Structure 1
Amino acid sequence: MHTECPARYDAIVIGGSYAGLSAALQLARARRRLLVIDAGIRRNRFALASHGFLGQDGREPGAIVAEAREQLLAYPNVQWRDGMATDARHDDRGFSVSLADTRLAAPYLVLATGVKDELPSIEGLAQRWGRSVFHCPYCHGYELNEGRIGVLAAGPHSLHHALMLPHWGQVTFFTNGALEPDDAQRAELRARGVRIEPRRVLRLADTATVELEDGTRVVLDGLFTATHMTMASPLAEQLGCELDESPMGRYIRTDALKQTTVPGVFACGDAARMAGNVALAVGDGAQAGASAHRAMLFG
């Protein structure tokens, strides 16, 4: 049975990672009464360092979030609750959100709920995720020092990965039965210096050594693959927010101001983008927080 809490908040931000913290900061500085609910599961928790985020390049991701949270909570109008928001719905006070045995209310919501990465089912891949297996060249390509790079195909969209990565090293494209490049695509890959490996991948070993089905070992410095993204939270669908489809999975549909298709609900970060990184998540959050505040002012 839920305990009903009075509507003490102007907005609730669900998700306390990069996008949610950024959204909350805008609302805090607008002197709004604000609650942040966070389950503590960052998408990039497997990575040793975050790259490409201005002023924070090379820093441990958890340290970035911890400092941002400390700065946010210095504002006396901000409250924080650890836990998983399990249910959200419209009610006569705007929106209500369930957290453990408590139901909280606010007239505006910001969803920064993130996504989960579903990895290709290859032995040894998950254990190396974020260490020597990656999805974003801009985040991790430079540190491979123009070395031996693999691309593991997960579908037709992996061709884009293979064509990008020669700027970061010597690329082998493991098609692994996930796609069969046509003649024009093969010519484009060859022109970029990409070696095509059609044999099936059996497992990963060592740092990022690919073992093929016939026992051949291809020693690499790093491997890139595309994941399939799924929503980390059911809240957007519970609220009736429309979703868009992409080759990587579904994400929450928003306009340029990060308003969802449900008035009063804003969304930001990886849950509301086809693809993203830390810097884009922070920018998304800043826009969502400012837009939610303007909605409070002007409707």
Structure 2
Amino acid sequence: MFDVIIIGGSFAGLSAALQLARTRRPILVIDADAPRNRFAAHAHGVLAQDGKPGGVILAEARVQLAAYPNVTQLSGTVRQAEALASGKIAFAVTLDDGKRVEGRRLILATGMRDVLPELPGVAERWGRTVLHCPYCHGYEIGGGPIGVLGRLPASVHQASLIADWGDVTLFTAGMPPLDGEALQLLARRKVAIESVAVTAIEGAAPAIDGLRLADGRLVPLRALFLAAPVQQASPLAQQLGCVLEEGMMGPLVQVDAMKMTSVPGVHAAGDAARAMANITFAMADGVMAAVGAHHALITEEGQA
């Protein structure tokens, strides 16, 4: 039996694994190789890694983990997780190939899935010229005309924020009517408002020339941002009975300061359990979840 099983081997999961590797305890990492940021060509804003492809950073991390003989790395998707009726806190997880493994603690680093709009041209540009995070991608746009596709009330905040990176137009056809406070904020931030519906993204993907509107006009753009609702990328938190809380963009796993969920022995880290997401946040969450799981093991052993 492993002391800790980490489900998800992206930035949160591998950061948790590295911390736990150094405790010399037996650790298992299971990864489906589908990180949320796989659509982006480069990772930005990551200290000492700025501009490096995210996949390269993860590959280097896996190599470093392989140097620890107490860490096992498995490729696959976990389809089921359940508590063991053993009298002590312990869990069993089953992979899609039928393999079953057991551990005393779980860390869910299973991530989120972005729900993209049904607008022609979005999917093939996602992470390249159709974006969600200006801190990750805004600098490389280089200024100029930037669009924000309004979908949620949060799109007003997004448009006002992105105005630091260029000349922003907020496309409001998919949004509730803007109130006076929103209009004043957008005016102060010099955000233009376009109310005609968007019908398509123009340009040779992944490049973007602009947005085609229902009245036939083409609004030139260098990039398009949107606030995408999110879903849990894995059903495991729900299977285990973890409490979810409604975030601004979708349901998040509820955790405490040590990343413990409502289920004893189950921790969660990274995008699945936080509203504001980027690589650095995910890595920090992974470290905290690892420390929390380790402390919980020590406490349990002291009570035996």
Q: Give TM class, smaller chain.
A: over 0.9
In the alignment, structure 1 residue 219 sits paired with structure 2 residue 232: no
Report the residue type matching 1:223 in the other structure.
Answer: L
Task: Give the aligned partner of residue 161 of structure 1.
Answer: 158
Report the residue type matching 1:249 in the other structure.
Answer: G
Task: Give the aligned partner of residue 175 of structure 2.
Answer: 178
The question of whether the paired residues in 2 share the 8 Å contact of 1:87 and 1:98 is answered with yes
Deviation at 1:196, TM superposition (A): 0.3
In the alignment, structure 1 residue 98 sits paired with structure 2 residue 91: no
Root mean square deviation of aligned Cα: 0.9
Task: Give the aligned partner of residue 284 of structure 1.
Answer: 285
Alpha-carbon distance in structure 1 between the residues aligned to 2:181 and 2:15: 44
Alpha-carbon distance in structure 2 between the residues aligned to 1:68 and 1:88: 26
TM alignment of 1:124-273, pairs within 5 A = 124-206=121-203, 207-208=207-208, 209-273=210-274
Alpha-carbon distance in structure 1 between the residues aligned to 2:179 and 2:289: 42
Gaps of 5+ in 2: none
How many residues align? The count is: 292
Structure 1 segments of 4+ aligned residues over 6 angstroms from their partners: none
Secondary structure of the structure 2 residue equivalent to 1:76: coil
Secondary structure of the structure 2 residue equivalent to 1:171: strand
Instruction: After superposition, give the CA deviation of every residue in 1:93-130 in whole Å (9 maximum; x if it has no partner).
Output: 51000012121101100000011111111111111000
In the alignment, structure 1 residue 52 sits paired with structure 2 residue 38: no
Alpha-carbon distance in structure 1 between the residues aligned to 2:173 and 2:51: 32
Alpha-carbon distance in structure 2 between the residues aligned to 1:96 and 1:160: 43
Task: Give the aligned partner of residue 4 of structure 1.
Answer: none
Instruction: After superposition, give the CA deviation of every residue in 1:5-34 in whole Å (9 maximum; x if it has no partner).
Output: xx2x11100000000000011110011101
The question of whether the paired residues in 2 share the 8 Å contact of 1:85 and 1:98 is answered with yes
Gaps of 5+ in 1: 1-6
The question of whether the paired residues in 2 share the 8 Å contact of 1:153 and 1:179 is answered with no
Secondary structure of the structure 2 residue equivalent to 1:116: strand
Deviation at 1:184, TM superposition (A): 2.7
Report the residue type matching 2:193 in the other structure.
Answer: I
Secondary structure of the structure 1 residue equivalent to 2:74: strand
Deviation at 1:77, TM superposition (A): 0.3
Alpha-carbon distance in structure 2 between the residues aligned to 1:104 and 1:70: 23
In the alignment, structure 1 residue 80 sits paired with structure 2 residue 77: no
Alpha-carbon distance in structure 1 between the residues aligned to 2:191 and 2:256: 38
Q: TM-score, normalised by structure 2?
A: 0.94
Alpha-carbon distance in structure 1 between the residues aligned to 2:40 and 2:157: 23
Q: Identity, % of aligned pairs?
A: 49
Task: Give the aligned partner of residue 3 of structure 1.
Answer: none
In the alignment, structure 1 residue 20 sits paired with structure 2 residue 7: no
